[in-house]
Chains A and B, each alone.
Chain A
Amino acid sequence: MSGHTLDVRGLLCPMPVIHTQNRVKELTPGARLQILCTDPGAVIDIPVWCRINGHKVLETDEQQSLISILIEVGSEE
């Protein structure tokens, strides 16, 4: 399984979602993308974006101010 990382630490809503959206467009279905961010709103927004666009959130981890969200690209893009 291919793994990719997107570092959007320091960016505020909606930029983490926009960067995620743009990166996912470059990936193939089944690819995994780990998103590193610091905006607490991303914990809500990225999963919503994934749900409405057919992607899957596999894991969310919050360590102090660092948030890591692992997603799997769906087939609808």
Chain B
Amino acid sequence: MSDTGRRKAVALISGGLDSMLAAKLMMEQGVHVEGINFFTGFCVEGHTHSIRRKDQQRPRRNNALWVAEQLGIKLHIIDVSADYKDVVLNPKHGYGANLNPCLDCKGFMVGRAYAWMQEHGFDFIVTGEVIGQRPKSQRRDTMPVVARDSGAGDRLLRPLCAQRLPETLPEREGWVDRSRLRDITGRSRKEQMRLAGDYGIEDYSQPAGGCCFLTDANYSAKLADLWQARRRRDYELDDIMLLKVGRHLRPRPHFKLIIAREEGENNFLEGYRHQFTHLRPISHNGPLTLVDGSADEDDLTLAARLAARFSQGRGADQVQVSVTEKGGASRTVAVAPMPSEEIPSAWYI
């Protein structure tokens, strides 16, 4: 409870509309609300928009921060990327359509929010979950699983659909008025948009593909390829950052190429070049290419031909490519760019 006697809730703020509305419903009832947002490493927000030049046409704002400012609440952003690894690698409830461990993820995040709540003297947790909105993590039968797995129990309140769920502690104790909560269900956004209209909220983020890269089939395929190539299911933060960037081609099982697609990605990969053997066309403009894995002389010649293919010299007889070994030594090789039709589609991850 706050110094003024108001009950205190910590709201999971994703940057989307639902969590914004859930927090708003609580504030409307006089609850002191502060937001919490978790950085897992797989967030679509942030990094990717910072990297790709085409994405820089969009607002570069962090939507969770933006939402907090619109609501007039504090936001605490927590880096959970190290602990989150176990959620991705060992989800006890399994994966969704791709490598998305949505139910475990929700339980993990609510669990972290619950720990934060206890540490900071807050009373309950608020999420923007809606029954039936997500096929795995937001179903009537999985909502109690999240409450149980997280340890939050009946201190977890979902204001947007609370009237369709059993009473929680904040409702029983009268900290919030259940009759003023909502009964929204399903994937339709109509009710949320109407409620947003009632609150005068006109600008909000609507991520088309969700807010997590693990729900993306292409991204998941790259992560699965990484695990297969290394013969172990593990990753470092740099690995999952690099999966978001560039064309990934695996011409041989023991190495793959990461080839920048545009200037923003090129600049991003520049920051990693010292950690990798890398190639750069020098007779023509072309992208930086990182070699991930171990490549011998023949492999590097093949890599140079592929790098040349994606340079402006793709139609030339020969392209000079600088090859820099991890650790420093550079040399120049002259190669014929590999014709597109000779690149097996199976090489593209």
Q: Is A40 an interface position by the 8 A CB rule?
A: yes
Inter-chain contacts of A13 with B (CB < 8 A): 45-47, 49-50, 60, 62
**Chain B interface main SS type:** mixed
Partner among B49, B65, B78 whose Cβ is within 8 Å of the Cβ of A48: B65
Q: Are A52 and B46 in contact (CB under 8 A)?
A: no
| Contact residues, A43-64 vs B (CB, 8 A) | 44-45, 48-49, 51-53
Q: Are A21 and B65 in contact (CB under 8 A)?
A: no
Could you give, for residues 31-46 of chain B, a 1 whenever the CB lies within 8 Å of some chain A CB and a 0 otherwise? 0000001010001011
Could you give, for residues 253-271 of chain B, a 1 whenever the CB lies within 8 Å of some chain A CB and a 0 otherwise? 0000000000000000001
Q: Are A45 and B65 in contact (CB under 8 A)?
A: yes
Q: Is B156 an interface position by the 8 A CB rule?
A: no
Partner among A12, A44, A45 whose Cβ is within 8 Å of the Cβ of B51: A12
| Contact residues, A12-55 vs B (CB, 8 A) | 12-15, 17-18, 21, 39-41, 44-45, 48-49, 51-53
Q: Are A14 and B51 in contact (CB under 8 A)?
A: no
Inter-chain contacts of A10 with B (CB < 8 A): 271
| Contact residues, B52-82 vs A (CB, 8 A) | 56, 60-62, 64-66, 68-69, 72-79
Q: Are A41 and B75 in contact (CB under 8 A)?
A: no
Inter-chain contacts of A39 with B (CB < 8 A): 50
Q: Are A14 and B77 in contact (CB under 8 A)?
A: yes
A51 to B39, CA, bound (A): 21
Inter-chain contacts of B47 with A (CB < 8 A): 12-13
Q: Are A12 and B46 in contact (CB under 8 A)?
A: yes
Chain B proximity of A36: nearest CB distance (Å) = 15
A60 to B113, CA, bound (A): 33
Q: Given the known A-B contacts A15-B39, A18-B77, A40-B56, are A51 and B69 also in contact in the complex, defined by CB atoms under 8 Å? A: yes
The interface centre, meaning the residue of A13, A17, A21 with most chain B CB atoms within 10 A of its CB, is A13
The interface centre, meaning the residue of A10, A40, A48 with most chain B CB atoms within 10 A of its CB, is A48
Partner among A15, A40, A44, A52 whose Cβ is within 8 Å of the Cβ of B75: A52
Q: Given the known A-B contacts A48-B69, A51-B69, A52-B73, are A14 and B271 also in contact in the complex, defined by CB atoms under 8 Å? A: no
Q: Are A18 and B79 in contact (CB under 8 A)?
A: yes
Inter-chain contacts of A15 with B (CB < 8 A): 39, 79
Q: Are A21 and B77 in contact (CB under 8 A)?
A: yes
Q: Are B61 and A41 in contact (CB under 8 A)?
A: yes
Q: Given the known A-B contacts A13-B62, A14-B39, A44-B61, are A49 and B49 also in contact in the complex, defined by CB atoms under 8 Å? A: no
Partner among A12, A17, A51 whose Cβ is within 8 Å of the Cβ of B77: A17
A12 to B39, CA, bound (A): 12
A21 to B50, CA, bound (A): 20
Chain A: which residue is nearest B79 at the CB level?
Answer: A18
Chain B: which residue is nearest A51 at the CB level?
Answer: B69
A75 to B126, CA, bound (A): 27
Chain B proximity of A11: nearest CB distance (Å) = 10
Q: Are A48 and B61 in contact (CB under 8 A)?
A: yes
Q: Are A41 and B77 in contact (CB under 8 A)?
A: no
Q: Are A40 and B46 in contact (CB under 8 A)?
A: no
6 new A-B pairs (CB below 8 Å) besides A17-B77, A45-B61?
Answer: A14-B43, A14-B46, A14-B62, A18-B78, A41-B62, A49-B77
* Chain A to chain B contacts (Cβ below 8 Å), 17 pairs: A12-B47, A13-B47, A13-B50, A13-B62, A14-B43, A14-B64, A18-B39, A18-B79, A41-B60, A44-B61, A48-B62, A48-B68, A49-B77, A52-B69, A52-B72, A52-B73, A52-B74
The 5 closest A-B pairs by CB, nearest first: A13-B46, A41-B60, A12-B50, A12-B47, A48-B65
